[in-house]
């Protein structure tokens, strides 16, 4: 199926067509601001699962149905868009991402797609040629799991191609970086430097730093970087534009500073925030304490901004062997690390609960997930989804590797596993070596979690992953690599159905953000947030999901992106 070009036709629909629509209905209705007609609409409303037209007034849906049913809502000033057979879904929401990081990736030295250590060195050499000697070369996006060298890069690799610059390159997952000798010196790192709390300095057999910094150790160098900063407002604008092009109508930002909140408020006041932004502040921090003290803020700027959550970390990432495991890694003499002491998190959890602030905690390994579930169980004292209307809806972000004994605890405790389908189709190339076959049974276990009664919102973790909703949907339903591979140990039985995957990108993120009354389905009264593709993700062959093209992104009835 070829992509559909969809013209805006507020003045293009023929007078005869409009007359037929109006004449078909017997009663008069206040005119809508916008009408979208002539498409295939998947509503996720059980009472009316499909339709062909939508009417919008004041940013909310006032009618969903056939062309004839929408006719009375068309007035002289109504902007009517002919969808020409395109397929409409409730607005997609990325349930876990990092907006400023996406923008920085768009604007900085982007190392996505680096194919080897040799390729990395070539890119660094070329970049260094554009930076004055003594300056910093800073980038992000490399990931070594597919490299033929089969190893992390080292400071020696970087010294060989950029001896006159400080070089600092962050792995795609953000949980590890490699620094050259000048960058290590700037951070005061020598063979005598000890591992900081929540971090690790990798050293060679002689005890010398290799240049690899894991989790908390990254701050030693990051705090010394000068001259490589990216304008944060420009980064946010670039990220917002990218999200709109990809069809996202809302994002849930997992870990921001108060400064980012103020920048987003300024963008919204200036009319430059064309999506919905749900923020969780980094914690523990002074910013987190400020939110607890002043309380949550819901639906600012006509529902564009909500700040009501805190983001904590329990462990690191699987790729950099920082995820906390119950037993040692299969390919390393380590069981990962804890980035925060459980007792400290327990104190913060109690404060957040008392203030009505939602808690999100990053946990990837089975030990990390078990500790967080134990802490949540004590803090929530039996509050579950069914027992309390204003339930806390606390979340575990990633929930990638879980002991089978702990899988039912999510639903039982009312804890939301906020997961990223694309992690599975990337990590499962190296996870068997990290975990071994037995632990893979509890890895990326979407089916088991859903069947147990848990709600599983889907995010992308961009810029860790590409941040494309087509990839997240495909990964959830196919559980295959982008080129169709499904290797031993990938547990295809854990895939989602297509309906579940759609809910994971719409209804379930709305629920996870307390927004199900306003968003997540195409129903009268809800906000008119729509994602429009040129083909039906619920019906096309799996491989064709990745070929779908975004036709239109609509936020509050306003078209914020339209394909040419």
Identify whether residues 457 and 525 lie together within a single domain: no
Mean pLDDT of the 100-125 span: 92
In angstroms, the CA 99 to CA 232 distance is 10
Residue 8: pLDDT band by 50, 70, 90 thresholds?
very low
Q: Does the residue 348 lie in any domain?
A: yes
Q: Does the residue 421 lie in any domain?
A: yes
Identify whether residues 383 and 462 lie together within a single domain: yes
Identify whether residues 175 and 309 lie together within a single domain: no
Identify whether residues 477 and 332 lie together within a single domain: yes
In this predicted structure, the answer to whether residue 25 has a pLDDT above a threshold of 60 is no
Q: Does the residue 286 lie in any domain?
A: yes
3-state SS assignment for residue 65: strand
Q: Does the residue 44 lie in any domain?
A: yes
Contact in structure between 147 and 115 (CB atoms under 8 Å): yes
Each residue of 310-335: pLDDT tens digit? 999 999 999 889 999 999 999 999 99
Each residue of 227-254: pLDDT tens digit? 878 899 999 999 999 999 999 999 999 9
What single-letter DSSP state applies at residue 154?
-
In this predicted structure, the answer to whether residue 415 has a pLDDT above a threshold of 80 is yes
Structure tokens at 307: 């700040």
- CATH of residue 307's domain is 3.20.20.140
Identify whether residues 301 and 373 lie together within a single domain: yes
Identify whether residues 477 and 533 lie together within a single domain: no
3-state SS assignment for residue 367: helix
Identify whether residues 322 and 411 lie together within a single domain: yes
Q: Does the residue 15 lie in any domain?
A: yes
Each residue of 33-88: pLDDT tens digit? 999 999 999 999 999 999 999 999 999 999 999 999 999 999 999 999 999 999 99
Q: Does the residue 515 lie in any domain?
A: yes
- CATH of residue 156's domain is 3.10.310.70
Out of 193, 222, 251, a domain closes at 222
pLDDT of residue 26: 42
pLDDT of residue 29: 77
Identify whether residues 394 and 420 lie together within a single domain: yes
Structure tokens at 538: 């619920």
Out of 175, 202, 222, a domain closes at 222
pLDDT of residue 387: 47
Identify whether residues 456 and 332 lie together within a single domain: yes
**Global pTM exceeds 0.85:** yes
DSSP secondary structure, 473-503, as one string: HHHHHH-S-TTS---TT--GGGPPPHHHHHH
Contact in structure between 496 and 446 (CB atoms under 8 Å): yes
In angstroms, the CA 262 to CA 269 distance is 11
What single-letter DSSP state applies at residue 426?
H
What single-letter DSSP state applies at residue 196?
P
Q: Does the residue 472 lie in any domain?
A: yes
Helix, strand, coil share (%) of the chain residues, nearest 5: 35, 25, 45
Identify whether residues 2 and 57 lie together within a single domain: yes
Instruction: List the domain range (segments joined by +) for residue 44.
Output: 1-91+520-564
Percentage of the chain modeled with pLDDT above 70:
93
pLDDT of residue 557: 97
Q: Does the residue 265 lie in any domain?
A: no
pLDDT of residue 469: 98
pLDDT of residue 554: 98
Identify whether residues 514 and 439 lie together within a single domain: yes
Mean pLDDT of the 338-363 span: 96
Identify whether residues 440 and 332 lie together within a single domain: yes
- CATH of residue 81's domain is 2.30.40.10
Name 75's Cβ contacts closer than 8 Å, sequence gap at least 6. Answer: 31, 32
Residue 10: pLDDT band by 50, 70, 90 thresholds?
very low
The total domain count for the chain is 3
């Amino acid at each position: 199926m070829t992509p559909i070009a969809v013209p805006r036709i507020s003045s293009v629909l023929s007078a005869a067509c409009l007359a037929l629509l109006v004449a078909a209905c017997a009663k008069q209705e206040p005119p809508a601001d916008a009408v979208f007609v002539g498409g295939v609409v998947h509503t996720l409303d059980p009472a009316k699962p499909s339709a062909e037209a939508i009417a919008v007034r004041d940013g909310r849906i006032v009618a969903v149905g056939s062309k004839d049913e929408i006719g009375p809502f068309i007035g002289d000033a109504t902007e009517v868009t002919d969808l020409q057979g395109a397929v409409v879904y409730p607005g997609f929401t990325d349930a876990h991402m990092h907006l400023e990081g996406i923008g920085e990736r768009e604007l900085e030295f982007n190392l996505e797609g680096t194919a080897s250590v040799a390729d990395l060195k070539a890119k660094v050499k070329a970049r260094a040629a554009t930076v004055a000697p003594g300056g910093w070369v800073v980038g992000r996006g490399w990931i070594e799991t597919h490299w033929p060298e089969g190893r992390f890069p080292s400071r020696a690799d970087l010294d060989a191609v950029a001896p006159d610059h400080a070089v600092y390159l962050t792995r795609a997952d953000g949980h590890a970086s490699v620094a050259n000798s000048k960058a290590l010196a700037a951070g005061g790192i020598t063979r005598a430097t000890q591992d900081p709390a929540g971090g690790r300095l990798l050293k060679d057999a002689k005890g010398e730093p290799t240049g690899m910094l894991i989790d908390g150790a990254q701050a030693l160098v990051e705090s010394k970087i000068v001259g490589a900063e990216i304008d944060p407002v420009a980064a946010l604008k670039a990220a917002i534009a990218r999200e709109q092009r990809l069809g996202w109508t809302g994002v849930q930002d997992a870990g921001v500073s108060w400064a980012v909140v103020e920048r987003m408020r300024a963008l919204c006041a200036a009319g430059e925030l064309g999506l919905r932004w749900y923020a969780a502040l980094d914690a523990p921090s002074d910013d987190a304490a400020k939110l607890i003290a002043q309380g949550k803020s819901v639906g600012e700027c006509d529902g564009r901004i909500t700040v009501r959550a805190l983001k904590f970390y329990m462990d690191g990432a699987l790729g950099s062997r920082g995820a906390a495991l119950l037993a040692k890694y299969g390919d390393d003499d380590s069981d990962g690390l804890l980035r925060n002491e459980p007792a400290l998190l327990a104190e913060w959890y109690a404060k957040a609960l008392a203030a009505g602030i939602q808690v999100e905690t990053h946990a990837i390994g089975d030990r990390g997930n078990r500790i967080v579930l134990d802490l949540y169980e004590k803090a929530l004292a039996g509050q579950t989804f069914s027992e309390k209307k204003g339930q806390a809806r606390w979340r575990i972000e990633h929930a990638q590797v879980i002991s089978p004994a702990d899988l039912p605890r999510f639903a039982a405790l009312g804890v939301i596993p906020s997961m990223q389908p694309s992690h599975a189709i990337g990590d499962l190339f190296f996870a068997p070596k990290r975990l071994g076959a037995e632990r893979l049974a509890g890895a990326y276990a979407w089916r088991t979690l859903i069947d147990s009664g848990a709600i599983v919102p889907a995010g992308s973790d961009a810029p860790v992953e590409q941040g494309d909703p087509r990839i997240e949907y495909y990964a959830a339903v196919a559980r295959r690599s982008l080129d169709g591979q499904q290797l031993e140990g990938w547990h295809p039985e854990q895939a989602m159905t297509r309906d579940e995957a759609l809910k994971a990108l719409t209804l379930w993120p709305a629920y996870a953000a307390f927004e199900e009354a306003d968003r997540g389905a195409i129903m009268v009264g809800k906000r008119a947030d729509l994602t429009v593709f040129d083909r039906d993700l619920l019906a096309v062959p799996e491989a064709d999901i990745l070929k779908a093209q975004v036709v239109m992104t609509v936020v509050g009835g306003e078209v914020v992106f339209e394909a040419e």
